[in-house]
Amino acid sequence: MRKLTFILFLFLISSIALFGQQFNDFFYDKACRVDFHLCGNARQTDVYLDKVLQEPFWGGRRHQLTKDLNLGDFRFRILDSTSMKLVYIDGFSTLYHEWQSTPEALKSSKSFEQSIQFPFPKKSVTLVIEKRLNLDNWQELFRYNLTPVDKLIQRKLPQSFPIKNITKTEISEKAIDIAVIAEGYTSKDIKKFYRDAQRLSENLLTHEPFTKYKSLINIYAIAASSVDSGISKPQDGNWKNTAVGSNFFTFYEKRYLTTQNIFKVRDLAALVPYDAIYILANTKTYGGGGIFNFYALTAADNILSNQVTIHEFGHSFAGLADEYFRENADVLDGMYNLKVEPWEPNISTLVQFDKKWKSQLPEGLQIPTPINDENKTKIGVFEGGGYLTKGVFRPYYDCRMHTNKSPEFCLVCKLAVERMILFLTEPTEPKN
Ligand SMILES: [Zn+2]
């Protein structure tokens, strides 16, 4: 037994050394950010480069660099330009992709800011940006050779704002770092922002599965100051000058609060090492938004803010889908193609259901699972989700991704969040 323990110990040490070596072989302890524009309409998507930047901190993972969890509407791959071997991969989603399913995208073309971040390479690399076609296939949109010594890579330090460590429990290399950015807070509102960020932090860390891993979560509050206090509400003709220029009424939906100024958001987040971004909006009005591997945004002072905060972080951190739907048409009800299995772990069209929660179901379960008191707390295949009443299924009757009444994530969502926490913090292979 002692010998086996020793062999296991040697294996563990060599695995850690391998992961560490791979990071240091290819990357500096800084971030490379690539800003670009996603342009097109309902039928077409093009990528145009904006700029490349070097940022002072790399807060992301340092292991499993060539693995991903197969999440997001897009992904990017970093290849060593000499060997063309993969050295880094990550998935992401975009507001642009959501817009593509709206009626406006059938009539006109638009451009959206988008930005990705990876560790800063030591050697020339090739960046490949791809769009998801289905669960297993991708279409290449863009290829760019990036030379780290290029003099036009911007190396400016970001504009400074006061920063407070709300919870600092682990060194950032091992932890999940969350950058909480102040939006709609003037310089006079700074104390309120820190209080609001503290509340957000306590709320998140008392919600499972974050509670279980709270010793691995660092939260930084970045007190960016806005000229105006509050948030733009175009539905009322009310526009504000704020740090990241967010607004309600995204895609003409009253409660949908987002920002399209992605480059500004990244400039502020660059003040700390980060895995995830949370934009905290100084308003009482109900609303929010969350985009996978980019940002979550929530109103700080609404009576339902605690619930919405977790819901939006479910989108941005773990790639969870909305499990809700409406009897009347939703602005995003064209998001899911019923002939394709969605990539989000908590909904299914049953096209490739074996890749979802099928193995967890009891034998002989009725599909769709009938809604009755007995089934309301059990795993099943409940019809309705992803903004559609028919053709999209969810694993539980209720969940934090379904309603604000649910006290927590359903089990499938909890496991998806946990998988992401482990992927970002543990040097082991992710299970597919
Ligand atoms: Zn769920």
* pLDDT tens digits in sequence order for the chain, 432 residues long: 444 444 444 444 444 444 455 899 999 999 999 999 999 999 999 999 999 999 999 999 999 999 999 999 999 999 999 999 999 999 999 999 999 999 999 999 999 999 999 999 999 999 999 999 999 999 999 999 999 999 999 999 889 999 999 987 767 678 999 999 999 999 999 999 999 999 999 999 999 999 999 999 999 999 999 999 999 999 999 999 999 999 999 999 999 999 999 999 999 999 999 999 999 999 999 999 999 999 999 999 999 999 999 999 999 999 999 999 977 666 666 788 899 999 999 999 999 999 999 999 999 899 999 999 999 999 999 999 999 999 999 999 999 999 999 999 999 999 999 999 999 998 654 444
| Six-digit token string for 7 | 């062999």
Domain limits of the chain?
19-155, 163-312, 321-408
Tell me how far the alpha carbon of residue 349 lies from the centroid of ligand 1, in angstroms: 15
Whether the CB-CB separation of 356 and 345 falls below 8 Å is answered with yes
The whole-number pLDDT of residue 329 equals: 66
Tell me how far the alpha carbon of residue 400 lies from the centroid of ligand 1, in angstroms: 6
Tell me how far the alpha carbon of residue 410 lies from the centroid of ligand 1, in angstroms: 4
Topology at the third CATH level for domain 163-312: Collagenase (Catalytic Domain) (3.40.390)
* Nearest partner of 118 among 320, 293, 359, judged by Cα: 293
The whole-number pLDDT of residue 303 equals: 94
Tell me how far the alpha carbon of residue 85 lies from the centroid of ligand 1, in angstroms: 36
Tell me how far the alpha carbon of residue 377 lies from the centroid of ligand 1, in angstroms: 12
At the second CATH level, the architecture of 19-155 is: Sandwich (2.60)
CA–CA separation, 157 and 267 (whole Å): 9
The whole-number pLDDT of residue 8 equals: 46
Q: How many CA atoms lie within 13 A of 247 on its CB side?
A: 18
Tell me how far the alpha carbon of residue 317 lies from the centroid of ligand 1, in angstroms: 14
Beta strands, E only, 273-318: 276-281, 288-291, 295-299
CA–CA separation, 135 and 352 (whole Å): 9
- Which residues have their alpha-adjacent CB atom under 5 A from ion ligand 1? 346, 399, 401, 410, 413
Tell me how far the alpha carbon of residue 397 lies from the centroid of ligand 1, in angstroms: 9
The whole-number pLDDT of residue 170 equals: 65
Tell me how far the alpha carbon of residue 372 lies from the centroid of ligand 1, in angstroms: 18
Whether the CB-CB separation of 61 and 424 falls below 8 Å is answered with yes
End-to-end CA distance of the chain, in Å? Answer: 31
The whole-number pLDDT of residue 6 equals: 46
* Nearest partner of 356 among 382, 333, 325, judged by Cα: 382
Tell me how far the alpha carbon of residue 297 lies from the centroid of ligand 1, in angstroms: 20
Tell me how far the alpha carbon of residue 416 lies from the centroid of ligand 1, in angstroms: 9
Tell me how far the alpha carbon of residue 128 lies from the centroid of ligand 1, in angstroms: 32
The whole-number pLDDT of residue 426 equals: 82
